[in-house]
Chains A and B, each alone.
Chain A
Amino acid sequence: MTQKQSTGITPEITPESEFWWEKISKHELHVQACHDCVKKWFPPVYRCPYCASKNWEWVKTSGQGKVFSWTVVHRAFDPAFAEDLPYTVLTVELEEGAKILGRLIPSDDRFSLKADMPVKATFYKVGDQTLLGFAKI
């Protein structure tokens, strides 16, 4: 395989997600919180997926959470990631309650990965795009 920089894939931002991406570019992690049923969630939905309320707001999280699950990807399902292999995608349960996806950073920490391990949001760039990752605390 030829030496190639990870080119990345640009997110297709929607009206619901614009705020979230803008905050990510400022290294802040937000989730939605419902005033009616007190649930918090991600990904963005314009009504609460637990009670259908439109009475919600974005809340800034601490960025801290626990590793809920993960997969170490060994196959490039898109050529954009061929140079990153192997890499790890985490599902993180934020201390505020919502679950979210992010890359494990640095990649070598996959060897010491454990369930419920505390992690903290960290941010990385591919081209001009800021993306969400998580690092061991």
Chain B
Amino acid sequence: MSKKRPSFLGNTAIAGVGYTEFSRQSGKSVLQLASDACVNAVIESGLELKDIDGVVSFSVLGDSVSSESVATALALPKQNYILNLNTGGQAPAYAVMLAAMAIEAGLAENILVFRALNGRSGKRIGGMTVAGEAAQFRDPIGYMGQPSFAAMWARRYMIETGATIEDIAAVPIAQRKFALLNERAIIQKPLTFENYLDSPMIADPFRKADCTTEVDGAVAVLVTSVKNARQLNYPPVIIEGAAYVCGPRSGLDMNDKLLWDDITTNYTNLLAQPLWESAGITPKEVDFAEFYDCFSSAVLFALEGLGFTGRGEAGAFVRAGETGLGGRLPVNTHGGLLCEGYIHGMNSVAEAVMQLQGRSGSRQVANANIGVVTSGNQADGSALILRRD
């Protein structure tokens, strides 16, 4: 593929991140969470609210507030770029890309990208019934709930590659170690394989420990030009590579995947080439990864899909400790969505920024220079390659 490198790459950056507290019951409105995370991102980066001229967000089935409402709550001046994406886990990296493109195109200068939800005490995504053209073939037979859908892929993956339950379990076991080093993580308990087997079954092969932890909270990042970012508080995190892909026959709705050619591989296989080409690097040059992990199997799919390991080898890679601190590719250094909590992958973008700014404390990856972030687990998704300036 000889495609021109998208012009926003190398010229746009993430300047700061903002978090709210993550909890099982925020006691706050989603608008308050969204606004607080956005304010934190602005203050931390060294800008003022009046400098913001764009807001981007995403939500599923009305579980969040609009970008316009956040602009209103924060008394932002005239906005030049507003986007409310109606998408799920494929969105975080893509939302950052869209903000960066708008900046490079000259439409706006400083854009907030946020995800906010009362994902535990309010609308819970994991068990949501998603209406759609093909829901009529799922709901009546009881094929419902996000764990069931991802489990169908994971089971076939195990059948074809010979991956074992030990391979699946290795993912939460590895990520719990990072979670213990992250005060923000909701799950703060070490996990052994024996404990794992005691974890209640949700949708075979997934146990509770394989499923993301639903939380209340919000995360925002501030996207701007590299030139602007260099004037601010922290080292700019440059958007060096990025790609989005939706594979053929992605389905009639979010959970219809009967027409997907191969459920043992996901969008990451299709994303690999455009992603690496966009940054002009190979997987060997990556220092760490934050992979979207709504379920444990997503990490194995991404390791193989992006070419960090061969087909069917991801489980052994994780079991050998290669995704831990000091391993060949530390993965989900915040404990992942499994442990830090499900801010729908926006917190995985934020963690990559923190790592590249050298601000991750005891879980800091030594010499973190290049990180990759993925968003999504099925037929479509996006990814960023981020580089320390």
Task: Determine if A43 and B142 form an interchain contact, defined as CB atoms under 8 angstroms apart.
Answer: no
Tell me which residues across on chain A come within 8 A of B129, comparing CB atoms.
Answer: 77-78
A101 close to B (CB within 8 Å) = yes
Task: Determine if A103 and B141 form an interchain contact, defined as CB atoms under 8 angstroms apart.
Answer: yes
Task: Determine if B140 and A49 form an interchain contact, defined as CB atoms under 8 angstroms apart.
Answer: no
Tell me which residues across on chain A come within 8 A of B200, comparing CB atoms.
Answer: 74
Closest to B127 in A: A77
- Across chains A and B, the number of contacting residue pairs, with CB separation under 8 Å, is 112
Task: Determine if A69 and B136 form an interchain contact, defined as CB atoms under 8 angstroms apart.
Answer: no
B366 close to A (CB within 8 Å) = no
Tell me which residues across on chain A come within 8 A of B140, comparing CB atoms.
Answer: 8-11, 126, 129, 131
The listed residue with most A CB atoms (<10 A of its CB), out of B135, B142, B258, is B142
Task: Determine if A73 and B142 form an interchain contact, defined as CB atoms under 8 angstroms apart.
Answer: yes
Chain B: number of interface residues, binned into ranges: 35 or more
Min CB gap B380→A, angstroms? 16
Taking a contact as CB atoms closer than 8 A, the residue among A12, A71, A86 that contacts B155 in the complex is A71
Task: Determine if B152 and A71 form an interchain contact, defined as CB atoms under 8 angstroms apart.
Answer: yes
Tell me which residues across on chain B come within 8 A of A71, comparing CB atoms.
Answer: 148, 151-152, 155, 203-205
Contact with A along B110-138 (1 / 0, CB 8 A): 00000000000000000101010111111
B166 close to A (CB within 8 Å) = no
The listed residue with most B CB atoms (<10 A of its CB), out of A41, A69, A72, A103, is A69
Contact with B along A84-109 (1 / 0, CB 8 A): 10110101000000111111000000
Taking a contact as CB atoms closer than 8 A, the residue among B135, B201, B252 that contacts A12 in the complex is B135
Contact with B along A47-83 (1 / 0, CB 8 A): 0011000000000000000001111111101101100
Contact with A along B150-182 (1 / 0, CB 8 A): 011101100100000000000000000000000
A102 to B142, CA, bound (A): 9
Tell me which residues across on chain B come within 8 A of A78, comparing CB atoms.
Answer: 129, 139, 142, 144
A74 to B127, CA, bound (A): 13
B143 close to A (CB within 8 Å) = yes
Tell me which residues across on chain B come within 8 A of A132, comparing CB atoms.
Answer: 141
Given A9-B140, A43-B252, A43-B258: A74 in contact with B155 (beta carbons within 8 A): no
CB<8 Å pairs between A and B, sample of 14: A11-B136, A12-B131, A14-B133, A41-B259, A42-B258, A43-B258, A69-B152, A69-B159, A73-B204, A74-B201, A78-B142, A81-B144, A99-B258, A132-B141
Leading 7 A-B pairs by shortest Cβ distance: A77-B145, A72-B204, A11-B136, A71-B151, A69-B156, A77-B144, A115-B159
